[in-house]
Chains A and B, each alone.
Chain A
Amino acid sequence: MFDNFVNLWHGFAVAGDPFNILLMVVGILLGVIIGVLPGLGGANGVAILLPLTFSMSPTSAIILLSCIYWGALFGGAITSVLFNIPGEPWSVATTFDGHPMARQGKAGEALTAAFTSSFVGAFVAILMITLVAPLVAAFALRFGPAEKFAVYFLAFCSFVGMSKEPPAKTIVSMMIGFALAAVGLDMVTGQLRLTFGSEELLNGFDFLIAVIGLFGIGEILLTMEEGLEFRGKSAKIDAKVVLRTWASLPRYWATSIRSCIIGCWMGITPAGATPASFMAYGIAKRVSKNGKNFGNGEIEGVVAPETAAHAAGTSALLPMLALGVPGSPTAAVLLGGLLIWGLQPGPMLFVEQKDFVWGLIASMYLGNVVGLIVVLTTVPLFAAILRIPFSIIAPVILVICAIGAYTVNNNVFDVVMMLVFGVLGYVLKKTNYPLAPLVLAIVLGDSAEEAFRQSLLASGGSIGIFWSNPLVSTIMGLGLVAALYPMISNLLSRLRSPQPA
C-alpha cells in the first residue's frame, strides 16, 4: 500500500510536466467536441487520433488519449441535457431528468450537476484504483459467464418496476429491444438471425442509430407537433449558475456515494458504464424522498446516473491494465495503442512498467481536475444555445443527427434506419410506452443473451449454474428482489394500512 503512494508521487512528477498538462487541455477540448457530435463517440475519436500519438512517449500519448476519452464522457452529457440526444449509451439515463430541466430553463444547473457528478464518480474510482488495484484484479477474475449474466439480470430487473408507465408497457418495450438486439450474427452458433437475406442487416441495429432516432428525431417530431415552440427558451445566461448549483449538490451526498459504489462495482465486473448508470438511476428513484418527481426535472436524477457512469468508465480501465480485457470499446482501442507502444497489458504491467502505470493513474487525477475546469467554463455557453429559435436549430440538429448516424458505420442505410427509429420513437411516446427499457435492451440484450447461453453450455443445460456459488446467487437474489419490489412494497403497504384504524 505504502509503495503505491511512493509510486503515485513519482507518477505525478511525470504527468505534471507542462507539456503533458498542455496535452490534457487539448485532449479534453477535443474530447468534448467529439462527445457533442453524436456518432463520433469516444472510441472513434481515440481511434482516429491514435496514429498521431506515435511520435510521443507512451506516457504522453496515453495521457492525450485518455483525456480525449474523458472529454467525450463529459461532452456526452451536453447533448443529452440540451436536445434529449444521448451521445453515448451511458448518457441515456441522464436525459430522463436532464432534458426536462433544460425545458424548464434550468439547463445550466443540469449541466453543472452532470459535470460535477462525473468528476466525483471518476475521482472516487481513481482513488479506489490507487488503493486496492491488486485486490480488484483478483475479484474481476471470479466473473465467468454466469456471474456476468447475473449482473445484466440485475440491471434489467431494477428497471422493470422503475418506470412511471405500467410494468406491462415497460416489459413490452424491453421485449421489442431484445428482438432488435437479436438481429445479426448469433455469436454462439455462428449463424445469421433475422436478417432476411439483407446485407444491410448483417451488423444488426447499432445502439447509436436507434438512440439518435428514438430520442433525437422523435423529440423533434414531438416538438413540431406542439407548434414549433422551443421549450428551453427561457434559459438565461448566468455565470453564477455554477456556484449556485454547487451549493445545492452536497444535499445529495447519499445518492452520490451509492452511485459511486454501483459504478465502481459495475466497472470492474466488467459490465460497464451503461448498466451502472441505469441501475444508479433506478435505485435513486426508489430510495430518494423526491423519487416521485424523478423524470420531471429532478437534479438528483442527473447526479445519480452521471456519477455511476463515470465511476464505472474509470474503474473499467483497471481490468484493462491488469488483465488485458477492455471494459468498453474505447478501452479496446486504447489497449491496441498500448500494444503498439510495446506495453503488454496484463498481470506483469504493474511490475514491469511502473512509470507508465503510475504516470497514467496520476494523469487520471490531474486530467479530471483539468477536465472539470474546462467544461464548467463552457456551461453558460452551451446553455445559451437554447435561446436560438427552434425553427433554426431543428434543421441543424437533424443534420448533425444524420451525420452522426452515417459516421457510425459509414453507411447511408443507417441514416434511413435513424429516420425509421425516429417515427417509432414518436409513436411510442404518443402511446406512452417508455423508450428507456427498449434502449437498455438494445445495448445489453446481446451481451446478456451471450452470457446466458455460455453459462448453459458450461453447465450442460442446467439452470442451477445461476445459483452455484455465493457470488452469483447473491446477485441473482438481488435481481429478483428488484424485479418484485413494486409488488412487495404494495403488499407491505396494504398490510400496514388497515392497522391504524
Chain B
Amino acid sequence: MKNFHALGLGTLTALGLAAMSILPAAAEWKPTKPVEFIVPAGTGGGADQMARTLQGIIAKHELMPTQLIVINKSGGAGGEGFLDVKNSKANPHKIVITLSNLFTTPLATGIPFNWKDMTPVAMLALDEFVLWVNAQDPYKTAQEYEAAIKAAPDGTFKMGGTGSKQEDQIITVAIEKALGKKMTYIPYKGGGEVAVQLVGGHVNSTVNNPIEAVSQWRGDKVRPLCVFDGKQLPYTDKILGDLSWSSIPTCKSAGLDVEYVMLRGIFMPPGVSEEQVAYFVDLFKKVRETPEWQQLMKDGAFNQTFMAGPEFKDWLTKAEATHKGLMQEAGFIAAAN
C-alpha cells in the first residue's frame, strides 16, 4: 500500500497531493457525492449480482455517507467499463468490480487497458468453478465422464460456457489438454442460460460457478462431478440429499489436473490517494462482517480469501502471468498484442 505511487504516476501523485491539500480532513477521507459502481458485465450475471448485493448491504447498514450507484458497462467484453475507470483519473467517486475479463479482455480483443492502469483496492472473494453434467446422464464421477470423452471421437462432447475466450473457455481448453481430446465449446451470454441449456440436454457439460447452477442441483437436474480448486469446498450445508458443496472432490484428485479460480475484486481509477483507497478497503472489510455477505458467500460457495495492498498486487501480477500463459497456449491472443 505504501508504494502505490511507485508505479511511475508522478504527475498523478502530484494531483493527488494537491487534492489532499484542498481537503483539510484528507486523513479521514469520505465520499462527498454518490459513488459510481461500474460493473464491466451485463445485468443478471455473477459480477452484477455481487455488485447489487454490495449496494444493498451498504445501503441497509448505512456503511457509507453517500449512495452507491451500480452502472453496467458491458460493451467490448467489459472493455467499456474498464476504459471508463482508466480514463477517470484521480476520481475517488468511482469503483469497479472485476471478473476474469480484467485479464482476458485486453489479451483477446486488444482493447488498450491493463490492471496496472487502475488502482487495486481489495480482493473480495474468489469464485469457484465446478464441472457439471445433466443428472440424467450416466456419469456419476469425473473419472467416468473423462473416460467417456476419451473413448469418443474429437468434438463429440459439447461444453457450454459463458462468453468466448474467457474463463469458461480457458478451463475447457485446459481440460482438452489434460485429456488429449477436443470438445465442442459453445459460448452463451450468461451463466444462468448455460445452466438451463445443460438441463435441457443441449450441451453435455458446463463449468458453471456454484451460484449459477446451485438451484438446478437442488432440483436434481444437474450433477456436480468435481471442483477446479486445489482443495475441496468448506461448506457443509446439505443441498441435495446428503450431498453438500464439501462432498464434491477436486478435479485433480479425479485425475483431471486443472485448477482455476476467478477474482472478484475492487479497483479504483488511477491517481487516487492512499487515504481514498484505505477508505474503500475499510468499507469492504465492514461489508464482509454483515450476515448478508456471509449468506452470499455460503450460497455461492465462494472462496473467502481477502487481500489488499502489496499482497493483492503480487497476486494480480501472478494471475496476469497465468492468464497470459493459458491464453497463449490456447491461441486466444489478439493480433494487436
Contacts and interface: CB of A to CB of B under 8 A. Distances in A.
Interface of A: 43, 47, 50-51, 54-55, 141-145, 184-192, 195, 199, 202-204, 323-326, 329, 332-333, 335-337, 339-340, 342, 344-349, 409-410, 450, 454, 457-458, 460
Contacts of A346: 214-216, 218-219
A144 B134 CA distance: 15
Contacts of A457: 184-186
Contacts of A342: 295, 299
Contacts of A339: 49, 53, 211, 299
Interface stretch (B14-22, B120-128, B193-201, B271-279): B193-201
Contacts of A324: 192, 195-196, 215-216
A332 B203 CA distance: 23
Contacts of A186: 164
B73 interface: yes
Contact of B80 (A51, A143, A203, A450): A203
Given A54-B59, A202-B83, A335-B44, 5 more contacts: A144-B200, A145-B202, A185-B75, A189-B165, A324-B196
Given A47-B70, A145-B202, A460-B155, A344 B75 contact: no
Given A184-B75, A340-B53, A347-B221, A458 B164 contact: no
Interface of B: 42-44, 48-49, 52-53, 55-56, 59-60, 70-71, 73-77, 79-80, 83, 108-111, 155, 158, 163-166, 169, 184-189, 192-193, 195-197, 199-200, 202-203, 211, 214-216, 218-219, 221, 292, 295, 299, 332, 334
18 contacts: A142-B200, A143-B200, A184-B75, A190-B163, A190-B164, A192-B76, A192-B110, A199-B111, A202-B76, A202-B111, A325-B192, A326-B44, A340-B56, A342-B295, A342-B299, A344-B218, A346-B219, A460-B155
B54 to A, nearest CB: 10
B157 to A, nearest CB: 11
A136 B231 CA distance: 40
Contact of B199 (A141, A202, A454): A141
B56 A54 contact: yes
B111 A187 contact: no
A340 B60 CA distance: 12
Contacts of A460: 155, 184
A480 to B, nearest CB: 24
Given A344-B299, A458-B202, A187 B187 contact: yes
Contacts of B221: 347
Contacts of A409: 73, 75
B76 A51 contact: no
A51 B215 contact: no
Contacts of B59: 51, 54
Contacts of B55: 50-51
Contacts of B155: 460
B52 A340 contact: yes
Contacts of A326: 44, 192
Contacts of B184: 457-458, 460
Contact of A344 (B53, B80, B215): B215
Contacts of A337: 52
Contacts of B189: 187, 450
B111 A192 contact: yes
Contact of A336 (B49, B108, B163, B164): B49
A141 B196 contact: yes
Contact of A347 (B44, B200, B219): B219
B196 A191 contact: no
Top 5 A-B pairs, shortest CB-CB distance: A346-B215, A203-B75, A347-B219, A202-B76, A190-B164
B44 A336 contact: yes
Nearest to B156: A460
Contacts of B42: 332
Given A55-B60, A349-B215, A460-B184, A204 B75 contact: yes
Contact of B216 (A185, A188, A203, A347): A347
